[in-house]
Structure 1
Amino acid sequence: MEVLSGIGQGFAVALQPINLFWCFVGCLLGTIVGVLPGLGPAATIALLLPLTFGMDPTGGIIMLAGIYFGAKYGGSTTSILLNIPGEASSVVTCLDGYQMARNGRAGAALGIAAIASFVAGTFGIVALTVLAPPVAAFALRFSSPEYFALMVLGLSLVVVLGGSSLLKALLSLLVGLWLTSIGTDLFTSQSRFTFGSSFLLGGIDFMIIAVGLFAVAGVLESIQQGEENTPLPVPRTLRALLPSWEELKACRFAFLNGSVVGFIVGVLPGAGSAIASFIAYGVEKAVSRHPEKFGTGVPEGVAAPEGANNADSGGALVPLLTLGIPGGGTTAILLAALVVWGVKPGPMMMQESPQVFWGLVASLYIGNLMLLVLNLPLVPLFAQILRIPLYVLFPMILGLSLVGAYSVSDNLLNLMLLSGFGLLGYAMAKFGFPAAPLVLGFVLGDSMERAVRQSLTMSMGDPSILVERPISAVMLAMAALILVSPVLMKMARRRRIAGS
C-alpha cells in the first residue's frame, strides 16, 4: 500500500505541465545525444548540470533522467545503420543490427531496438518501484572478490562471441586486456606501455577502439571487396519497414532475457551496461535453437543487448536512490546534482524527499512511453540513410568517426589511433580474428584488474579469497564451465562419430 500511495503521489507530481515539459526535453535531448557518436549521456548531463541549479529539484532530476534514458534509446541508431557504436553497450548491437541493415531489414532492426528498449526499460522501472530496498541490500553483499568473479564470467563469453575459432577469440581477448592496461597504474601511479608518450598516460578512450574496429574497418573491408556504389536495400512501405510478427515472436524471450539480465547487472555498482549487454547477448546465443546464425542478422541479437542496455538504467538507479551509491559516471553526476539541490539520496530519501523520489520514478514511466512514441515514427526516417549511395555513405561514416574521435580530447593524435585501430580491425577481419572479444577485454579489463588487486589487498596477498566466498566461487565455476564446454562438446562429438 505504501508503494501504491507513493507512486500515486509521484504521478501527481510528474503529470504537472512543467514537469511533463522537462521530461520531454530530456527525452528529446537524450535521443539526439545517443545518435551522435562520442558524446554520451554522462558528458551531456555534466554540460547541462549548471543550467539546472536554479530549477526545482524535481523538474531538474526528471530532465536529467530523461537524457539518461533517451541516450540509451538513441545509441542503437548509428550501431544499426552505420556500424558506429557510440558507447560500450552499443558494440553488441552492431554484430546483428548492422547485418540486418545490410540484409534490407534496417527498419525492422530499429523497430526491434525501440520495442526492446521500451519493454526492458518498463521492466527496470517496475522493478525499481517494487524491489528497490531488498535488491539494494543484496547488492551490498558484493565486494571486490565478487566483482572480479563477475568480470571473469563476462570474459568467458568470448566462447559465444568468438565464432568458429576459440583460439583466435582468446588471442583477440588478450589484446583487449593489454590495451586496457596502457596508461597510469591506479595503485602505484607508474606509467605502463606508454612508450614515453605523455598522451598515453590517460590510456586509450573506448570510442577510439570501438569505432576504429567496427566503423573504419568495415568501410575498408567493403571498399576492398569492391561493393557496388548502390544504396543498401530499404523497403519502401511502412509495413515492410517495421518488424514482422515472426520477428517479434522470435524476440519474445530475448525481451525477457535482456530485461532481467540488464536490471540485475545494473543494480551492481560499477558493473555497467556494457557487461549487461554482452551477458544478455551471450545468454541469448547459448539458449538459441540456431546459435550459428548469430552475427549474420538475427533479430534476437538486437533485442537482447538493447533490452539489457535499457533495463540497466533502472537497475543503476536502485543503489543511487536507496543507498546513495552511484554505479557509474552518469549516476555519479546525478548524485552530485541531487546533493547540490539539497536532496540526500539514501535509505531515508523516500521519507525526507518523497516528492523528488516518487516524482522521478513516475516520470520514468511517462518518459519511457514518450521515448517509444518519439522513436518508432522516426524509424522510416532513419532508415532512409541507407538509400544514400555507398560512395557518399562511406565518406560520411569516416567523417562521423573522425569527428567523434577528435571530440574525445580535441587531440589530433586520437585520429592517428583511430586510423591504426581501423587498419587493425581490417587485418583481423581478413585473418578471421573476431573484433568483439577485443572490445570485451578492453571494457572489462580495467575493472577486473582493480577488483583482483583490491581483493588481494583485503586478504594480505592470499588468492584463496577469490574462491572462499560463495557468490564469487559460484560465478568462477560457471565461467570455467562455459570456457571448457566447447572442448567437452567436441570430445563428445568425436566419441559419437567413433562409436558409429
Structure 2
Amino acid sequence: MSIGIIDGLLNALTFANIGFAVVGCLLGTLVGVLPGLGPASAMAILLPVALYLPTTGAIIIMAGIYYGAMYGGSTTAILMNIPGEVSSIVTAQDGFPMTKNGQAGQALAIAAIGSYIAGVFGTIAIAIIGPQIAGVALSFGPPEYFGLVFFSMTALISFSGPSLLSGLALGIFGMWLATVGVDPLTGTQRLNFGTIELMKGFDIVPVLVGLFGIAEVLTSVDQKIAQIYTGKLGSWLSMIPKGDLLKRGLKAALRGSGLGFVLGLLPGMLPALTAYLAYDVEKQVSKTPEKFGTGMIEGVAGPEAANNATAMAGFIPLLSLGIPTSPALAILLGTLLISGVTPGPMMFEQQPLLIWTVIGSMLIANTVLVILNLPLVGLWARICLVPYSILGPIILSICVIGAYAPRNTLFDVWIALLFGVIGFVMRRLSMPISTLVLGFLLGPMFEQSLRQSIEMAGTPMIFFERPIPLSLIIAALIVVGVTSYLKRRSGEVSTLISQSTNEA
C-alpha cells in the first residue's frame, strides 16, 4: 500500500513532532515581530542545533520558524506601523489605520485567520498538485519576469494616488535607490558616492524601518498624539470579526491564498510582491477602492493570506525539484542535504513518509499558529492603549535595534533616520510611500530581467514576441488606461458636487 497524506499526518501527530512544530511556530512568531531579524537569520542561527535532531524534526522546526515569521511580522505592522517582515509592509497600510479606529483586535484576528486559510490552502495544494505543477515555474525566463514586474509596478502606480505622474516619479526614485551598490551583471560599483558602507547598496531593513517606523513616530509627535486609540477594548472573543466584516475578510483571504500560491511557485518571487498584487486585486474588486488605506479589512486579509500562501508554495519547487525560492528555503535545503536527504523528483517515491510527514506537520503548525495567536489578540491590542509618551520611545528603540541588527553597523541606523525624515515629509505631502518601497524592492528584478532579456535576444522586441510578457504588458497598459479614465471621471464628479454645494 502506498504511503500518503494520512500516514504522514499520523506520523506528524506524534508528541515529539507536535512539540517541534510548536517550538518552531513560537520562535517564528517572535522573529517576525522583531524588525531586522528575518526567518533566514533565525534558521541560520538554529541550524547547528537542528542538525542534532531527527531529520523529520529538524525540517518541521525549521518550517515552523519560516511560516511563523510570515505571520508574526503582521503584529507590529498592525499595532505600530513597523513591518516585522518585508512582506508585512502591505498589511500595515490598512492594519495600522484599523488600530487607530479601535479595530486592532479585528485586524490581528483576521490576519491570523487569513494566514491560517492560506496555510491550509497551500498544504492541500502541495499534497494534491505539487509535483505536477512545479515544472511550470521553470518555463519562466527573464522576459516573463520582466513582464510580471512591469505589470506589478504599473498596477500599483496606477492605484497609488490621484496623480499618475507622482506615482511614476516615486516608483522610479525607488528603483534608482536600488541601483546603488554592485551592478548585478558586471559586478562593478556604481552610485556609492565613495562610501564603503554603500558598496553593497542600501539594506532593505533600515530603509523600511525608517520609512514606516521612525516616520510614524515623527508624524505622531508632530500631530501631538497622546494615545494611538483612546476608546475601550473588550475581551479577545469580542474582537473576532463577525457578520459582514468576517465575510469580507474571508473572501479576501481566499483570493489572496490562490494568487499568492500560484505566484509563489516562481523562483525568486518575493512574498512582498504577491502581497502588493493581492492588495491591488482587492482594490479592483472593491466597490469602495477609495477607502483603502483608511482601515479596510480586505487590505489586511488579502495581503496576509497572499504572503503566507507564497511562503507555503515555495515548498513545491524545493521538495520536488530541489530549487529554493527564498533565502530561508535555501537554508532548509541545506538542512535536508546535511541530513542526507536529496530533494528532487524521486523524493516522493524514495522517501514518501518523510515528505508526507512534513506536509502533515504543515497542517498541524498552521493550526498551532491560529490557536496560539487568536487568544493573544486582546493582549496585543491593548498595546494601542499605552500612552504615546511611553510607546513612542519604545517604538523608536525597536527601530534603532532593527536597523542595526542586519549588518551590525551604525551607518544603517543613520540611514534609517534619514529615511525616517523622508517618510515623514512624504506623509506631510500625502505622497504614497508604498510606491517608493515597491520600486526599491522590484528594482533589482526589473533591471536584471530587462538587461538579461535584451542581451539574450539582442533586441527589445523579445518582449513582444513571447506570449506571456506581451500579455502582461498589454494588461498593464489597459490598467493604466482604465484607472486614468476613472480618476478623471472621479475628479469631474467631485468638481460638480463642489459647485452644487457652493451654489446651494
TM-score between both structures, scaled by the size of structure 2: 0.95
1:435 aligned to 2:430? no
Q: Distance in 1 between matches of 2:356 and 2:429?
A: 54
What code does the residue aligned with 2:391 have?
L
Query: Of 479, 484, 491, which residue of structure 1 is paired with 2:476?
Result: 479
Q: Deviations over 1:428-484 (max 9, x none)?
A: 11122110000100111111111122212221x211112211112111211121122
Query: Of 262, 265, 274, which residue of structure 2 is paired with 1:276?
Result: 274
1:358 aligns with 356
Q: Deviations over 1:342-388 (max 9, x none)?
A: 11111001112222211100100111101110110111111121121
Q: In the superposition, relative to structure 1, how do residues 199 and 292 fare at CA in structure 2: closer, same or farther (>3 Å)?
A: same
Query: Of 461, 465, 477, which residue of structure 1 is paired with 2:462?
Result: 465
Cα deviation for residue 219 of structure 1 reads: 1.3
What code does the residue aligned with 1:360 have?
V
2:67 aligns with 69
What code does the residue aligned with 1:474 have?
S
Query: Is residue 44–residue 331 contact of structure 2 (8 Å, CA) maintained in 1?
Result: yes
Q: In the superposition, relative to structure 1, how do residues 393 and 493 fare at CA in structure 2: closer, same or farther (>3 Å)?
A: closer
Q: Which structure 2 residues correspond to residues 140-151 of structure 1 after superposition, within 5 A? A: 140-151=138-149
Q: What is the DSSP-based 3-state SS (H/G/I as helix, E as strand, rest coil) of the residue aligned with 1:249?
A: helix
1:102 aligns with 100
Q: In the superposition, relative to structure 1, how do residues 449 and 110 fare at CA in structure 2: closer, same or farther (>3 Å)?
A: same
What code does the residue aligned with 1:242 have?
I
Q: Which structure 2 residues correspond to residues 150-169 of structure 1 after superposition, within 5 A? A: 150-159=148-157, 161-169=159-167
Cα-Cα RMSD: 1.8
Q: Deviations over 1:194-231 (max 9, x none)?
A: 00001001111111111111111111112112223575
Q: In the superposition, relative to structure 1, how do residues 66 and 176 fare at CA in structure 2: closer, same or farther (>3 Å)?
A: same
Q: Distance in 2 between matches of 1:255 and 1:227?
A: 32
Q: Distance in 2 between matches of 1:62 and 1:281?
A: 30
1:396 aligns with 394
Cα deviation for residue 21 of structure 1 reads: 1.2
Q: Distance in 1 between matches of 2:53 and 2:185?
A: 40
1:177 aligns with 175
1:377 aligns with 375
1:312 aligned to 2:294? no
Q: Distance in 2 between matches of 1:230 and 1:447?
A: 37
Cα deviation for residue 397 of structure 1 reads: 0.8
Cα deviation for residue 241 of structure 1 reads: 2.4
Cα deviation for residue 268 of structure 1 reads: 0.6
2:501 aligns with none
Query: Is residue 227–residue 384 contact of structure 2 (8 Å, CA) maintained in 1?
Result: no
The runs of 5 or more residues in structure 2 that have no matched partner are: 497-504
What code does the residue aligned with 1:110 have?
L
Query: Is residue 234–residue 384 contact of structure 1 (8 Å, CA) maintained in 2?
Result: no
Query: Is residue 326–residue 335 contact of structure 1 (8 Å, CA) maintained in 2?
Result: yes
Q: In the superposition, relative to structure 1, how do residues 234 and 132 fare at CA in structure 2: closer, same or farther (>3 Å)?
A: farther
Q: Distance in 1 between matches of 2:231 and 2:453?
A: 52
2:499 aligns with none
Q: Deviations over 1:122-143 (max 9, x none)?
A: 1011111111122212112111
Query: Is residue 45–residue 67 contact of structure 1 (8 Å, CA) maintained in 2?
Result: yes
Q: What is the DSSP-based 3-state SS (H/G/I as helix, E as strand, rest coil) of the residue aligned with 1:377?
A: coil
Q: Distance in 1 between matches of 2:110 and 2:396?
A: 26
Q: What is the DSSP-based 3-state SS (H/G/I as helix, E as strand, rest coil) of the residue aligned with 1:202?
A: coil
Query: Is residue 316–residue 326 contact of structure 1 (8 Å, CA) maintained in 2?
Result: yes
2:413 aligns with 415
Query: Is residue 260–residue 305 contact of structure 2 (8 Å, CA) maintained in 1?
Result: yes
What code does the residue aligned with 1:90 have?
S
Deviates more, 1:183-192 or 1:93-102: 183-192
Q: Deviations over 1:412-438 (max 9, x none)?
A: 111111110000011111122110000
Cα deviation for residue 234 of structure 1 reads: 4.6
2:500 aligns with none
Query: Is residue 218–residue 426 contact of structure 1 (8 Å, CA) maintained in 2?
Result: yes
Q: In the superposition, relative to structure 1, how do residues 169 and 17 fare at CA in structure 2: closer, same or farther (>3 Å)?
A: same
Q: Deviations over 1:249-276 (max 9, x none)?
A: 1223201111111101111110120111
Cα deviation for residue 489 of structure 1 reads: 3.3
1:251 aligned to 2:249? yes
Q: In the superposition, relative to structure 1, how do residues 330 and 441 fare at CA in structure 2: closer, same or farther (>3 Å)?
A: same
Q: Distance in 2 between matches of 1:161 and 1:349?
A: 44
Q: Distance in 1 between matches of 2:404 and 2:344?
A: 39
TM-score between both structures, scaled by the size of structure 1: 0.95
Q: Distance in 2 between matches of 1:128 and 1:76?
A: 24
Query: Is residue 251–residue 303 contact of structure 1 (8 Å, CA) maintained in 2?
Result: yes
Query: Of 220, 225, 228, which residue of structure 2 is paired with 1:227?
Result: 225
Deviates more, 1:96-105 or 1:185-194: 185-194
What code does the residue aligned with 1:201 have?
M
Q: In the superposition, relative to structure 1, how do residues 48 and 232 fare at CA in structure 2: closer, same or farther (>3 Å)?
A: farther
What code does the residue aligned with 2:450 have?
V
1:337 aligns with 335
Cα deviation for residue 491 of structure 1 reads: 5.9
Q: Distance in 2 between matches of 1:341 and 1:237?
A: 46
Cα deviation for residue 494 of structure 1 reads: 8.9
Q: Distance in 2 between matches of 1:41 and 1:454?
A: 30
Cα deviation for residue 160 of structure 1 reads: 5.3
Q: Distance in 2 between matches of 1:466 and 1:89?
A: 29
What code does the residue aligned with 1:147 have?
Y
Q: Distance in 1 between matches of 2:247 and 2:45?
A: 41
Query: Is residue 102–residue 233 contact of structure 1 (8 Å, CA) maintained in 2?
Result: no
Query: Of 258, 282, 285, which residue of structure 1 is paired with 2:283?
Result: 285
What code does the residue aligned with 2:475 have?
M
1:212 aligns with 210
Cα deviation for residue 187 of structure 1 reads: 1.4
Q: In the superposition, relative to structure 1, how do residues 495 and 213 fare at CA in structure 2: closer, same or farther (>3 Å)?
A: closer
1:113 aligned to 2:111? yes
Q: Distance in 2 between matches of 1:331 and 1:467?
A: 34
Q: In the superposition, relative to structure 1, how do residues 494 and 362 fare at CA in structure 2: closer, same or farther (>3 Å)?
A: closer
Cα deviation for residue 85 of structure 1 reads: 0.8
Query: Is residue 169–residue 434 contact of structure 1 (8 Å, CA) maintained in 2?
Result: yes
Cα deviation for residue 232 of structure 1 reads: 4.2
Give aligned-pair identity as a percent.
Answer: 44
Q: In the superposition, relative to structure 1, how do residues 100 and 340 fare at CA in structure 2: closer, same or farther (>3 Å)?
A: same
Q: In the superposition, relative to structure 1, how do residues 493 and 370 fare at CA in structure 2: closer, same or farther (>3 Å)?
A: closer
Q: What is the DSSP-based 3-state SS (H/G/I as helix, E as strand, rest coil) of the residue aligned with 1:123?
A: helix
Cα deviation for residue 337 of structure 1 reads: 1.0
